[in-house]
Amino acid sequence: MSRIVVIGAGIGGMCAAARLAKLGHSVDVFEGSDQVGGKCRTEWIGKYAFDTGPSLLTLPAVYRDFFLKTGEPIEKVLELQPVNPSFDYKFADGSEVNFTNLSRHETLTSLSQNFGENVSTQWKVLMERAEKMWDVSREPFIESELTSPLSLLKRPTLLRDLFTIAPWKSLRELVRSVTDDEHLSYIIDRYATYSGSDPRKAPAVLLSIAFVEEAFGAWHIKGGIGQLALAIEERAKKLGVKFHVNSPVSSINHNGKKVSGITLNSGEKVTADVVVANADASTVYTHLISEKVRVLRRQRKSLAQSEPSLAGFSLLLGLKPDSEAPAMNHHTVLFPADYDAEFDSIFTHYKPVEEPTIYICAPRDESMSRTPGYESWFVLVNAPRHSTIGEGFDWSDENFARAYASKIISQIEARGIPLRNRIELLEVRTPADLEKSIGTPGGSIYGSSSNSARSAFMRARNRSPLKGLFCVGGSAHPGGGLPLVGISAEIVADAIGRA
């Protein structure tokens, strides 16, 4: 049995902790903030509940596997609810299309009715390609510990796989080779932002995210997606994991080339055979470990070269009932007239987007409001990361944040969704808030972006060159978002192995 310390109680840290306890290790989780879940949490404010992080669960198989392998099936602890339509996409030209959850056939019909038969056929062509990309990348890349790019190059199917994935093409280039329809192109562009990236630079293989959503569905969890974090915590505790909240870690200690434990901000030292870091990898390598540790030089260099993911600016809206207001679907996306201006703003000019894509999550879940008829909406727009110096925007000005929120509300109303008169509660969350609450550098949503073909290889490896140190979560391989973070925990637990 090894003595294992996990730094951070995000989803990746807690899943790894539970899996490791199941393998027979003694596991302690040290969390810097006052609660578990990291970015994934459902917050109650007065009579309203909001998912302030993830509001869409895809590839639930990852968490089905987690709960089954650590004790009881997911159905015993959480109520997964399919969301239909999965998305309601509204465009600046007044057109609209609903994607039916778990049915390509109905989505094709919907595309054909709204944009014509050609566009519908183009979506089919794109999804067939995306499925092939998923098949090629899932097992050898996403679900495996990435020891070296060389291992991928040695595959006997290399040439065929390369042709499928087309690493030389951006997502935008691939899509434009199939369609010149702007509506379809905007829908696909949005999948690049699911990994915090710019579709003009992100690799074409991100198209597989669209396939995963279509094939395995868009899901909600009753009570909020944050329930996932609480259920994982409970499972970990049942397996004997000990949680220590309000316990920020100030350093990872080592003896030569091997970890020996951690030191907390309080000065307390905790010895350990293995340390699993769920804090952002750039923080781990630049702030928690002495820069004298030479074996980490290459990993540090890669992280320094990788571009952080975009961040998010969100509005939490508690709304009074209004019989005149149109009924909203669970997930609505209001696309702007010029999507590229958004990516230029975020990644080149580091400025809040003038006319952003607006995502509205209006859960049809009565357990997320204490008063029937009242609704809690989570509104999210992509934003440049927070920085007071250099590449980012200084989000710490509260007056600016409130004015920006008001602008977004006006833009929603301009699209025929009355809002201002219904608002009973309005809270704003900026990238600076996320950085402050859980130490995510710049408030980046997904760790590092995928803004180049090499970015996947620049992320922190799950197994660090410092013996006994492992990295798990959105800033480590295979990347951010709930499905990948859950997979990273499985990779790390498998790499550490049985007690």
The one-letter amino acid code at 423 reads I
Pick the piece of the chain touching ligand FAD (CB under 6 A) from 4-12, 138-146, 299-307, 403-411: 4-12
CB of 30 to ligand FAD, least distance (A): 5
d(CA 61, CA 74): 10
Tell which phi-psi region holds residue 391, choosing left (phi > 0), alpha (psi between -120 and 50) or beta: beta
Answer for which of 4, 22, 25, 32 binds ligand FAD (CB under 6 A) is 32
For ligand FAD, the binding residues in 242-301 under the rule CB under 6 A are 248-249, 278-279
Q: Which of 230, 381, 438, 456 binds ligand FAD (CB under 6 A)?
A: 438
Considering only residues 53 through 72, tell me which ones interact with ligand FAD, judged by CB under 6 A: 53-56
Nearest to 492 by CA among 5, 13, 7: 13
- Residue 395 interacts with ligand FAD (CB under 6 A)? no
What size, in residues, is the chain?
499
Q: Quote the CA–CA distance of 210 and 192 in Å, as a whole number.
A: 10
Using CB under 6 A, pick the residue from 6, 7, 206, 236 that binds ligand FAD.
Answer: 7
| All residues at 6 or more sequence positions from 150 whose CB lies less than 8 Å from its CB, including other chains | none
Q: Which of 27, 31, 175, 331 binds ligand FAD (CB under 6 A)?
A: 31
| Residue from 4, 456, 485, 493 binding ligand FAD (CB under 6 A) | 485
- Which single residue brings its beta carbon nearest to ligand FAD? 10
Nearer to ligand FAD, 115 or 356 (CB): 356
Q: Does 189 bind ligand FAD (CB under 6 A)?
A: no
Q: Which is nearer to ligand FAD, 161 or 342 (CB)?
A: 342
Which CB atom, from 185 or from 440, has the smaller least distance to ligand FAD?
440
Q: Does 40 bind ligand FAD (CB under 6 A)?
A: yes
**In the complex, minimum distance from the CB of residue 325 to ligand FAD, in angstroms, rounded to a whole number:** 24
Residue 374-393 contact track with ligand FAD, rule CB under 6 A, x = bound? ------x-------------
Complex with ligand FAD: residue 145 or 173, whichever CB lies closer = 145
- Choose which of 5, 9, 17, 492 interacts with ligand FAD (CB under 6 A): 9
Nearer to ligand FAD, 32 or 468 (CB): 32
Q: Where does this chain bind ligand FAD (CB under 6 A)?
A: 7-13, 30-33, 38-40, 53-56, 248-249, 278-279, 312, 314, 380, 434, 438-440, 445-446, 473-474, 480-482, 485
